């Protein structure tokens, strides 16, 4: 089944472009995956579109809201083949349409689909600008320790993971002069950071949004994100981002500056049956 309904990355990009605007925004990561011509992709031409950068990377699957039983079964066959090839692979599916397909994947793999995260997909078409305190700036060499610290805080507080200091330092070094990460400063201090991680034809995805622990609750991340959105919209790119559905404060903060929820994606991993949910 791995070869069934296999299509080229170019054909997959064309299919993705035919989805409705909100669905394209919800599945925005697929644009990045399919930007490489060696990406793996499968489709039946209307009910599902599944893609993966390579056999060891996360799988993203668009599933039509009204996907029928036959198409759901074929999509489950493909997802199960990906999971058998790499048992540790994570699967990302639209929350509503994906639950039934994941049950079929469980039956095909003998594994239990465990939810990793529910993500809300947001788009900002018009910014509600806050009262700004401070200013946006590009990072310089002197900001590397602050960026490394913010990245580690983001991982610890948002993902309950620890990023090694060496890895955080490497990230900070790479961001200097890269032109994709912005800082928010107030009274000379680095308060927050955010990144424009990927630009597609009409959208720009923002991620790595974090405020220093000592300065949270003062609106700095909202100020930075709002300013980024204003600049992106002026360039003709519609900002979008994903927010952890289990974090109501970050969702409220994004909504406050003009982000509108357009969809939901759930990330799953497949565990040995009996390992617990």
Over residues 206-248, the pLDDT tens digits come to 999 999 999 999 999 999 999 999 999 999 999 999 999 999 9
**Contact between 83 and 2 (Cβ < 8 Å):** no
The pTM (predicted TM-score) of the whole model is 0.92
Q: How far apart are CA 61 and CA 95, in angstroms?
A: 11
Q: What is the pLDDT of residue 276?
A: 46
Q: How far apart are CA 150 and CA 145, in angstroms?
A: 9
DSSP-assigned letter for residue 41:
E
Of residues 249 and 4, more confidence is placed in: 249
- CA–centroid distance for 76 within its chain: 22
Q: How far apart are CA 83 and CA 97, in angstroms?
A: 19
Task: Give the burial class of 235: count Cβ atoms within 10 A of its Cβ; 0-12 exposed, 13-18 middle, 19 or more buried.
Answer: exposed
Helices 69-85, 95-109: crossing angle, 10 deg rounding: 60
């Amino acid at each position: 089944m791995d070869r069934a309904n296999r299509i080229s990355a170019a054909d997959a990009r064309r299919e993705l472009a035919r989805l409705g605007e909100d669905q394209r925004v919800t599945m925005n990561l697929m644009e990045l995956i399919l930007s490489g011509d060696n990406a793996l992709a499968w489709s039946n031409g209307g009910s599902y579109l599944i893609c993966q950068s390579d056999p060891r990377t996360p799988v993203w699957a668009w599933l039509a809201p009204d996907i029928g039983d036959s198409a759901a079964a074929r999509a489950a066959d493909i997802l199960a083949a990906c999971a058998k090839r790499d048992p540790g692979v994570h699967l990302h599916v639209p929350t509503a349409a994906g639950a039934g397909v994941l049950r079929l994947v469980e039956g095909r793999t003998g594994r239990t689909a465990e939810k990793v995260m529910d993500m809300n997909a947001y788009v900002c078409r018009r910014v509600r600008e806050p009262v700004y305190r401070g200013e946006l700036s590009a990072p310089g060499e002197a900001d590397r320790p602050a960026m490394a610290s913010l990245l580690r805080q983001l991982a610890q507080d948002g993902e309950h993971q620890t990023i090694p200091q060496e890895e955080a330092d490497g990230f900070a070094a790479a961001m200097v002069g890269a032109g994709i990460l912005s800082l928010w400063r107030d009274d000379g201090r680095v308060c927050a950071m955010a990144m424009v991680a990927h630009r597609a034809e009409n959208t720009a995805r923002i991620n790595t949004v974090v405020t220093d622990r000592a300065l949270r609750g003062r609106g700095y991340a909202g100020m930075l994100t709002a300013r980024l959105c204003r600049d992106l919209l002026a360039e003709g790119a519609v900002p979008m981002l994903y927010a952890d559905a289990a974090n109501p404060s970050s969702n409220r903060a994004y909504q406050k500056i003009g982000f509108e929820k357009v969809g939901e994606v759930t990330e799953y991993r497949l565990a040995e049956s009996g390992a617990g949910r």
